[in-house]
């Protein structure tokens, strides 16, 4: 089957309710794009363990406390789509900022124990931004499994805690 691309919430919801995804063990690989071998290892694991694989590409502005870092974050959307299509992922979700954070958005996850330690000490709001976007993606897609790299071990710990604290029925790989 060909790779589907959803660029907004309406298309995502329509695709997720289709026969292709209904009652399937779905794996989610969240990324900020600039797909590399580390991402592809996660995609391969999802394809192996799940019946459907969804990759998200979203550069999350709320996890950047420095506007220059956000502005300079590498993007290669056409190349990312080509790579993921060749891997035969089932769906690529590329939301826009307005879908993820509408104008009246005001709900953020605050991590008391992590905001002043590790890289949270020097990157104010970073962990909150990561936790908020991951929670949104998990809520929207409702995968059975989600795949995260160990490159940023601090984020992985926070995501595992998020899943535990909210009793989410999702296995983190």
Residue linked to tokens 């969804």:
54
Q: Cα-flanking dihedrals φ and ψ of residue 6, to 5°? A: -115, 125
Query: Collapsing DSSP states into helix, strand and coil, what is residue 110?
Result: coil
Residue linked to tokens 């691309």:
5
Q: What is the rounded CA–CA span in Å between residue 153 and residue 100?
A: 24
Cβ neighbours around 4 below 10 Å, total: 20
CA 162 to chain CA centroid, Å, is 14
Contact 138, 164 (CB under 8 A): no
Active site residues: 39
């Amino acid at each position: 089957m060909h790779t589907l691309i959803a660029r907004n919430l309406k298309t995502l919801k329509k695709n997720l309710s289709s026969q292709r995804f209904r009652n399937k063990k779905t794996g989610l690989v969240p990324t900020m794009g600039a797909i590399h071998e580390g991402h592809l290892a996660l995609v391969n694991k999802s394809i192996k363990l799940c019946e459907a694989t969804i990759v998200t590409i979203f550069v999350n502005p709320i996890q950047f406390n420095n506007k220059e870092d956000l502005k300079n974050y590498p993007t290669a959307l056409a190349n990312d789509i080509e790579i993921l299509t060749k891997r035969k992922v089932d769906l690529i979700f590329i939301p826009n900022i307005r879908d993820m954070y509408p104008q009246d958005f005001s709900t953020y996850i605050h991590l008391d124990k992590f905001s002043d330690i590790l890289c949270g000490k020097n990157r104010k709001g970073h962990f909150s931004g990561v936790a908020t976007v991951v929670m949104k993606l998990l809520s929207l897609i409702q995968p059975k499994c989600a795949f995260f790299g160990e490159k940023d071990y601090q984020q992985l710990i926070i995501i595992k805690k998020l899943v535990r604290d909210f009793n989410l029925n999702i296995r983190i790989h």
